[in-house]
Structure 1
Amino acid sequence: MIGIFDSGLGGLTVVKEVFRQLPGRRVVYFGDTARTPYGTKSRRLIGRYAVQDAEFLLEQGAEVIVVACNTASAQAMDVLSSRIRVPVFEVVTPAVRAAAGITRGKVGIIGTRGTVGSGIYGRKMREMSPEVEVMAAPCPLFVSLVEEGWTEKPETLMIAKRYLNPLRLHGIDTLILGCTHYPFLRQVIGEAAGPEVRLVDPAAETAAELRRFLQEHPELDRRLRGEDHRFFASDRTEQFSQLASAWLGRETDLREATLE
């Protein structure tokens, strides 16, 4: 199975892209809704949570792990790499690579305080394209707005315009949605950023990287085949179930799982 975890329901954007780009592969998803958001937690705690999430997915039969959380991708990959003995994919590098390929020179990053504060996107961009100018802005309310289903409220657009105004004034031409919750707000973010700004979705780029990896590892790819999908949350709510089913376009039998 392809194991995917996030601090909440944002990682479902990665699940949707995996279903689209890699149909016929089994997926097990875990959303740590009881401890969301990760973006306000310490690096030590984020690392501990990420390892627990990944180990739970391994217990469910995952042979590949996707860290569908930008905060965990930014702050927990070192501990995950040392503790998890299957291929582990993160969402930061694919997004930076895509942005570097299309920008005219100015890239904006939006994410949680944890992701933006880590500086991971700027470092990755300097490694790939040092000539590109990067500016980041934290958007701490976006995760809660998505989790509460406020994806199309006028208040959400007002907040988005407030967050993105410094980036617009800076003249960015490309914007990385540096949190997997943010594609739920793609229309609002696009309107706030302006029609001249191209959006980069880490979910789509990460699924594409996983697809390329499996093409190079056909034996593993064969073992992932099937339609036995499983969805777990550490705090199962009816709202999560409804949002998951609506976003994925299919019924999801969401189960509760408590991590120790």
Structure 2
Amino acid sequence: MTDQPFMHDSKQRPIGVFDSGVGGISVLQHIHALLPNEQLLYVADSKYAPYGNKTPAEIQARCIEIADFLVNHHVKAIVVGCNTATAAAIDMMRERYALPIIGMEPAVKSAATASRNGIVGVLATTGTLKSAQFAGLLESYGRNVKIITQACVGLVECVERGELQADTTMQLIQQYCQPLLDEGADTIVLGCTHYPFVRALIEQVVGEEVSLIDTGAAVARQLQKRLAMLNLLVNDNKVGCVSFWTNSKADNARQVIESLWRRPAVINLL
């Protein structure tokens, strides 16, 4: 479905962002930094996190429910702040909704260009690594480099619990990064939006000589470009309101969101 004409007040509408939990807040930070005057509405689908171990049909059902929620809140664009959800559902979403929908993808192209020795590691969820979209990325950009993939089972859950410095989190990172280092990777893609929140631990494990690639900034730039093309960027100079919605059952859900956002937040329960 192509983008439809918007009403005259569409510039003032918020931008919706969602993920299978709190990981997409890493993308939200890049969007807010680049487009500080835009209103942002973030949905953390933490009750169903992680998406990486769910079937495509299950992920698509979650994406439709959340997108319907965002559309009912009159968003002017949706950012799917999740690699797994992008791979499973973005084509279907673009057919279903008449508004700009921006997705994620692991930065295989950027990593292949950045690598000095031609060996690239990818840390991602099982769902992302098994997707046809990821296979297409490897086919398009992985021909001249060696790409080693590593599914990081359990790491999303550590971030969801706010365990960014915990010993168990560090143990998982060591377990998942070591095979990439053993193969000689000099560049590693953070192929899940949760992983930038444990970047400091990953850097401790892989060392200064290994480059880490995060796609959040590129997604924010793509969103800005798309909104500018449609004349949907807000004209106001005041800082836009950022609000959060979560269906997490965890007692510390608000604390985790505020710690990742790094400032007080308006948090609503779904």
Query: Normalized against structure 2, the TM-score is what?
Result: 0.87
Aligned to 2:216: 203
Q: Letter of the aligned partner of 2:91 in structure 1?
A: D
CA deviations over 1:40-76 (Å, ceiling 9, x no partner):
1111111111121112111112111111011101211
- Corresponding residue number in structure 2 for 1:151: 164
Q: Hey, what does 2:85 align to over in structure 1? A: 72
**Residues 100, 84 of structure 1: alpha-carbon distance in 2 compared, 3 angstrom cutoff:** farther
Task: Tell me, yes or no, if structure 1 residue 117 matches structure 2 residue 118.
Answer: no
What amino acid is aligned across from residue 159 of structure 2 in structure 1?
V
Q: Does residue 41 of structure 2 align to residue 28 of structure 1?
A: yes
Mean Cα displacement is larger for which, 15-24 or 241-250?
Answer: 241-250
**Do structure 1's residue 99 and structure 2's residue 100 form an aligned pair?**
no
Over the aligned positions, Cα root-mean-square deviation in angstroms equals 2.0
Task: Tell me if structure 1 keeps the 8 A contact 2:21–2:44.
Answer: yes
Match of 1:247 among 246, 260, 268: 260
Q: How many residues align?
A: 255
1:99 counterpart letter in structure 2: A
What does residue 228 of structure 1 align with? 241
Match of 1:59 in 2: 72
Q: Are the aligned partners of 2:100 and 2:226 in contact in 1 as well (CA < 8 Å)?
A: no
Distance 2:228 2:115 in 1: 28
Whether the 8 Å contact between 1:51 and 1:79 is mirrored in structure 2 is no
- SS of aligned partner of 2:52: coil
In the alignment, structure 1 segments of 5+ residues that lack a partner are none
Deviating beyond 6 angstroms after TM superposition, the runs of 4 or more aligned structure 1 residues are none
Contact in 2 for aligned 1:7/1:37 (Cα 8 Å): yes
Identify if the C-alpha distance between structure 1 residues 98 and 114 changes in structure 2 by more than 3 Å, giving closer, same or farther.
Answer: same
Task: Kindly provide the amino acid, as one letter, of the partner of residue 102 in structure 1.
Answer: A
Please give the alpha-carbon distance, in whole angstroms, between the structure 2 residues aligned to 1:224 and 1:14: 22
Tell me whether 125-134 or 146-155 shows the greater mean CA deviation: 125-134
Gaps in structure 2 of 5+ consecutive residues: 1-13
Identity of aligned residues (%): 32
